[in-house]
């Protein structure tokens, strides 16, 4: 079967490197074997996304800005794909990069901010880190670059989520997400347990009830809070059903080790000859009948048991909010740029 009938592509996420210049307490990346994608593979992926009508292309890491020539790759993606996301700590953005990125009409930054002041510094193990982040964020917003903030809910910040929300609520942020830390990215030490559930749920409730300032979308819903709670009381709870899961048909991820996988969570078969881009090209991988059969079986009755994804993709309403409001914010942003 041709991929145009099998897939309904939306987003291609490319983890260009898992190297990082940070040592966040909750992250496993600093402990992993170091891998960086070859530049020719990244270029092939940008062309593939453009040819196959992907709506979004994400560069992520580790820290993607550690990769030499990243601005040129971003140029290329911005010229050929409708929406381009750069997920970065922001700490490596200098005036020249901010000026360069401000010229794109379709680039937005996803910046992690897991605390303010001391909390940020202790999670990043970096004295003065928050002050630096905040001053860079002001410059980025001053240059009218669209920004999405992401706060991973974890032990060190679970009791001050409302404070983090409030700190940024008057800024021109497109979207502020509060995903729950999961074993996938998280160091177990920083994961929340039943003892933290009440405080965390109450903080999220305060955000849900807070007056919306400047129409900035924060996707906290009653249902999301309920599931976060269930997840903490019973870590076996899956928030996202595996049966008929749309994710493997809509999204494609390429890991820093060069494997093309449909989602982060399922135990996809990883071997070079099967889905390794160092050995096969991306067209060959996604069109391989064995890959498509594996996806069919993952979303079937006895396939994947579902996941507790930290990315909100499991909740159709929230996903609709995210993509809907993002599109709306982009429209406003473009209009503002066009009218000077
Ligand atoms: S969370 Fe992100 S910035 Fe922090 S160590 Fe992991 S990859 Fe680096
Ligand atoms: S792990 Fe299963 S339910 Fe979760 S995104 Fe992947 S296929 Fe869907």
Q: Three-state SS across 2-68?
A: CHHHHCCCCEEEEECECCCCCCCCCECHHHCCCCECCHHHHHHHHHHHHHCCCCEEEEECCCHHHCC
Of the listed ranges 56-65, 149-158, 215-224, 268-277, the one predicted with least confidence: 215-224
Q: Which residue has the tokens 């996941």?
A: 307
List C-alpha distances in Å: 19 to 40, 63, 85, 195, 289.
18, 6, 19, 33, 33
pLDDT in tens, 180-209: 887 766 677 888 989 999 999 999 999 888
Q: Give the pocket of ligand 1 (CB within 6 Å).
A: 20, 22-24, 27, 29-30, 61-63, 89
Strands 83-87 and 11-15: unpaired
Q: State if pTM tops 0.75.
A: yes
What is the whole-number distance in angstroms between the Cα of residue 4 and the centre of ligand 1? 35
Which ligand ends up closest to the CA of 264?
2
Mean pLDDT of the region 57-71? 96
Q: Which of 304, 265, 278, 273 is nearest to 291 (CA)?
A: 273
Q: What was the pLDDT predicted at 173?
A: 84
Name the band, by pLDDT with cuts 50, 70 and 90, for residue 94. Answer: very high
Q: Using an 8 Å Cβ cutoff, are 26 and 124 in contact?
A: no
Q: Round the average pLDDT of the chain to a whole number and report it.
A: 88
pLDDT in tens, 161-176: 999 999 998 888 888 8
Token pair recorded at residue 159: 């009791």
Ligand 1 atom at minimal distance to the Cα of residue 61:
7
**Ligand 1: which residue has its CA nearest to atom 6?**
27
pLDDT in tens, 229-249: 998 998 888 877 788 888 899
CATH code, domain with 272? 3.20.20.70
Ligand 1 atom at minimal distance to the Cα of residue 30:
5
For Cα atoms 238, 244, 246, give the angle at the middle one, nearest 5 degrees.
90
Residues 6+ apart with CB under 8 A from 300: 243
Compute the half-sphere exposure of residue 215: CA atoms within 13 Å on the CB side of its CA: 6
Q: What was the pLDDT predicted at 241?
A: 78
Mean pLDDT of the region 48-52? 97
Q: What was the pLDDT predicted at 339?
A: 59
- Could you list the residue range(s) of the whole structural domain that residue 110 is in? 3-339
Mean pLDDT of the region 263-280? 92
Q: Is the CB of 304 under 6 A from ligand 2?
A: yes
More confident residue, 77 or 221: 77
Spatial distance between the Cα atoms of 336 and 145, rounded to a whole number of angstroms? 12
Token pair recorded at residue 182: 């999961």
Mean pLDDT of the region 60-84? 96
Q: Which residues pair with 212 in a beta bridge?
A: none
Q: What was the pLDDT predicted at 222?
A: 79
From 21, 22, 64, 124, mutation site for ligand 1 pocket: most ligand atoms within 8 A of C-beta = 22
pLDDT at 75 over 80: yes
Domain count, the chain: 1
Classify each residue of 190-222 as buried b or exposed e, where b means 16 or more C-beta atoms within 10 Å of its C-beta: bbbeeebbeebbebbeebbeeeeeeebbbbbee
Of the listed ranges 150-154, 205-209, 293-297, the one predicted with least confidence: 205-209
List C-alpha distances in Å: 243 to 190, 237, 247, 249, 287.
30, 15, 11, 13, 22
Ligand 2 atom at minimal distance to the Cα of residue 262:
6
Q: Which residue has the tokens 């409730």?
A: 205
Ligand 2 atom at minimal distance to the Cα of residue 265:
1
């Amino acid at each position: 079967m041709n991929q145009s009938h099998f897939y309904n592509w939306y987003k291609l996420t490319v983890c260009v490197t898992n190297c990082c210049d940070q040592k966040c307490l909750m992250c496993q990346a600093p402990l992993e074997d170091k891998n960086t994608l070859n530049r020719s593979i990244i270029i092939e992926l940008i062309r593939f996304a453009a040819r196959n009508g992907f709506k979004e292309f994400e560069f992520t890491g580790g820290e993607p800005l550690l990769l030499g020539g990243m601005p040129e790759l971003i140029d290329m993606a911005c010229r050929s794909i409708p929406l381009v996301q750069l997920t970065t700590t922001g700490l490596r953005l200098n005036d020249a990069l901010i000026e360069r990125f401000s010229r794109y009409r379709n680039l937005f930054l996803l910046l992690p901010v897991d605390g303010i002041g001391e909390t940020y510094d202790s999670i990043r193990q970096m004295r003065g880190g928050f002050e630096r982040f905040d001053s860079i964020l002001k410059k980025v917003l001053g240059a009218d670059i669209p920004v999405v903030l992401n706060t991973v809910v974890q032990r060190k910040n679970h009791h001050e989520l409302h404070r983090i929300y409030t700190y940024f609520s008057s800024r021109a942020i497109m979207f502020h997400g509060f995903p729950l830390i999961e074993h996938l990215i998280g160091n177990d030490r920083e994961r929340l347990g039943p003892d933290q559930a009440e405080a965390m749920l109450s903080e999220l409730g305060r955000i849900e009830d807070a007056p919306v300032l400047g129409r900035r979308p924060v996707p906290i819903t009653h249902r999301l809070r309920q599931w976060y709670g269930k997840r903490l009381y019973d870590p076996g709870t899956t928030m996202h059903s595996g049966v008929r899961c749309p994710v493997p048909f809509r999204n494609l991820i390429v890991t820093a080790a060069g494997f093309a996988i449909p989602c982060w969570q399922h135990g996809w078969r990883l071997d070079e000859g099967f889905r390794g881009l160092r050995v096969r090209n991306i067209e060959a991988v996604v069109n391989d009948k064995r890959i498509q059969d594996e996806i069919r079986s993952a979303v079937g009755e006895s396939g994947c048991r579902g996941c507790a994804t930290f990315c909100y993709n499991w909740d159709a309403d929230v996903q609709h909010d995210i993509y809907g409001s993002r599109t709306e914010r982009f429209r406003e942003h473009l209009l503002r740029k066009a009218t000077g």
